[in-house]
Amino acid sequence: MKTRRIFLQKAGISALALNLSPFSPLLGANEELNMNAMDEKPLRVAIMGLGSYGSRVARAMKDCKRAKLVGVISGTPSKIEAWQEEYNIPAKNCYNYETYSQIKDNPDIDAVYVITPNGLHKEHAIGVANAGKHVICEKPMAVNASEAKEMVDACKAAGVKLLIGYRMHFEAKTQEVIKMRMNGEFGKILFFQGLSGFIIGDPTQWRLNYELSGGGAMMDIGIYSINGARYMIGEEPIWVTAQETKNNPEKFKEGVDETIQFQLGFPGGAVASCLSTYSMNNLDKFFLNGLNGFAEMQPSTGYGPIEGRTHKGPLNHPHVTHQTTQMDEMAAIILDGKKPLVPVDGEEGLKDMVIIDAIYKAVKEGRKISLV
């Protein structure tokens, strides 16, 4: 059997990986003071998977107040050496995919952020949980709902927290729209549109390898529209329909979706119409329409500044690097028991996986799939 290191290297794990300090405008004075008082106790994090997104998270953590990068897990010794030098990581906090279970004996690591390919999330997350460390797992949390449920159960059994890398749940402009919806400022919600896509490059990268990715664009970028529909509308969908278009079967092999249009129905009567694709650029837009108002965000989920407006005018919160905010907020969840505005726990990730399973089933069977 191939080792994980060989498996990851053959799959091109080092290829392009496509997937706050608390933002004080949204915090009360007392909450800011409380969080500042706890700055001296950081969440000590090891990153597992040192590809492009792992590097992005590491850079963002340099500005964190509550989270600190203290360890790494990788199958590539040269990457470990480079990270040791750049982030001042001691050798005792460095592991590979065969030795990371030994973190159970390392009191200097509190949590591990799993940023390996989707197909390895279950194995790695459960391994971390069994070592007694909290798990932060990049989305999608698994390749299907069954695996996601195993992860949730394993973390509960181990008595550790499982959080999913939903950075947008902490982004200031996104939170402002969610709060407006919660306060009834849009009136009855009628419609949501989510457009998520880009033209993917290197055909040999792991995201186009079904065994590692579990799918195609839906597993990478489409999940943003699924999750966005849920937190923007504020309900859980009760049915899904979906249609797939594949124009390049050589690049997008069996099981790897190129473009899927999907629709979600919600109990309050709202409908979501969404597009997930690896073949079109300039698709990063959310639109929420209510009886009394609207919200439009474009870009809506990209790494850079989010731009948005509502019927009341533009959203003007300053941009803070999403992963910085995410890691500080997750530290507060783990260390302080803080309750986020929108959940980021394993159950939240599992809900998205149930919907993704249903979308793939709707494509295959050509019919509406009930989610209740």
- Active-site positions read 139, 224
Question: Rounded distance, CA 132 to CA 277, Å?
Answer: 38
Neighbour tally for 239: CB within 10 Å: 17
* HEC per residue, the chain: CCCHHHHHHHCCCCCCCCCCCCCHHHCCHHHHHHHHHCCCCCEEEEEECCCHHHHHHHHHHCCCCCEEEEEEECCCHHHHHHHHHHHCCCHHHEECCCCHHHHHHCCCCCEEEECCCHHHHHHHHHHHHHCCCEEEECCCCCCCHHHHHHHHHHHHHHCCCEEECCHHHHCHHHHHHHHHHHCCCCCCEEEEEEEEECCCCCCCCHHHCHHHHCCCHHHHHHHHHHHHHHHHHCCCCCEEEEEEECCCCCCCCCCCCCEEEEEEECCCCCEEEEEEECCCCCEEEEEEEECCCEEEECCCCCCCCCCEEECCEECCCCCCCHHHHHHHHHHHHHHHCCCCCCCCEHHHHHHHHHHHHHHHHHHHHCCCEECC
CB 369 within 8 A of CB 239: yes
Peptide bond into 42 cis (omega under 30): no
